[in-house]
Amino acid sequence: MSDTALVLGGGGLTGIGWEIGILHGLARAGVDPTGADLVVGTSAGSVVGAQLTSGVLSLDELYERQLVDPKGEIPATMGPAMIARYAWGVVRSRDAKAYGIRMGKMASAIRTAPAEDRREVIAQRLLSHDWPADRRLVVTAVDTTTGELAPFDRDSGVGLVDAVSASCAVPGVWPPITIDGRRYIDGGVHSSANAALAAGYAKVLIVAPIAMGGGPLPTPRAQAAKLAAAGSKVVLITPTREARRTFGRNVLDPARRAPAARSGLAQAAAHVDEVRRLWQD
């Protein structure tokens, strides 16, 4: 087995803030998992993963960045009708690929902001536009035609900004991202965490803002259990009820990022011992 993997799940702008709060709190307590050999990022997690592995800012600085006015972000929301379409898609899909195809069709049919504008927002979020050279970062997206998971890394031939833009392309909210003639949407359409990509790693920390799954989509807990059954030591962190309250009803609201970051920092204390045992064993 390889050694350490950090899996960062999707969850909108509040997910970005909460994940960084969790990691900052762990590091402040003397347990810093951000130097993992493998970092897997899905949607919000792809942003956090790219920021962490850039080496440009410390966790302290990344955390403080969550607390300032989120300039450049475009407010968005998912109304009840859109959420219902997601739920109906889950019910009608036999597996994750079928769900990916269904969501890909929906994303392609709905008019949203131009892809170039969305890509610029993502480019501003990232601290570097280059893949890390010292370890492996995997960014997940879903092919709109085949519904298959697309794990991008530095050897994929895809630029980091394009990969993260695709991973954050929430169907019905943001446009699919075209890469080499194919269109991609949010990696969370396949799984909110995609922790299966950490198979073969001895120690796996999963930080998942969205604990739910449903139908053909496995929960982070189910994926963690599968990794553990295969011999990995795994710790899963999901938001407490108090943390979820700070997210509000719209995880895409930039104004909720700071409260989510503070809730992640507060929650981290409860996980220090288990992560220390995992990481230092």
Residue 22: inside a domain, yes or no?
A: yes
Closest C-alpha among 7, 10, 8 to residue 166:
10
Among this protein's residues, is 232 annotated catalytic? no
Residue 97: inside a domain, yes or no?
A: no
The pLDDT, as a whole number, for residue 1 is 60
Residue 124: inside a domain, yes or no?
A: yes
Residue 81: inside a domain, yes or no?
A: no
The domain tally of the chain equals: 1
Closest C-alpha among 174, 159, 168, 164 to residue 188:
168
Encode burial over 20-32: b for 16+ CB neighbours within 10 A, e otherwise: bbbbbbbbbeebe
Residue 61: inside a domain, yes or no?
A: yes
Q: What CATH number is given to the structural domain containing 29?
A: 3.40.1090.10
The pLDDT, as a whole number, for residue 37 is 97
Range of the domain at 21: 4-75+111-280
For the chain, the 3-state helix, strand and coil shares in percent, each to the nearest 5, are 50, 15, 35
Asked whether the beta carbons of 54 and 126 are under 8 A apart, the reply is yes
* DSSP per-residue letters across 96-153: HHHHHHHHHHHHHHS--S-HHHHHHHHHHH-S-SS--SSSEEEEEEEETTT--EEEE-
Per-residue pLDDT tens over the stretch 52-109? 999 999 999 999 999 998 777 777 887 777 888 888 888 889 899 999 999 999 999 9
Q: Which of 43, 46, 167, 232 is catalytic?
A: 43
Q: Which of 143, 153, 162, 186 is catalytic?
A: 186
The residues of the chain scoring below 50 in pLDDT are none
The pLDDT, as a whole number, for residue 26 is 98
The pLDDT, as a whole number, for residue 248 is 92
How many other CB atoms sit within 10 Å of the CB of residue 164? 30
Among this protein's residues, is 186 annotated catalytic? yes
The pLDDT, as a whole number, for residue 156 is 97
Residue 173: inside a domain, yes or no?
A: yes
The pLDDT, as a whole number, for residue 13 is 95
Residue 253: inside a domain, yes or no?
A: yes
Residue 100: inside a domain, yes or no?
A: no
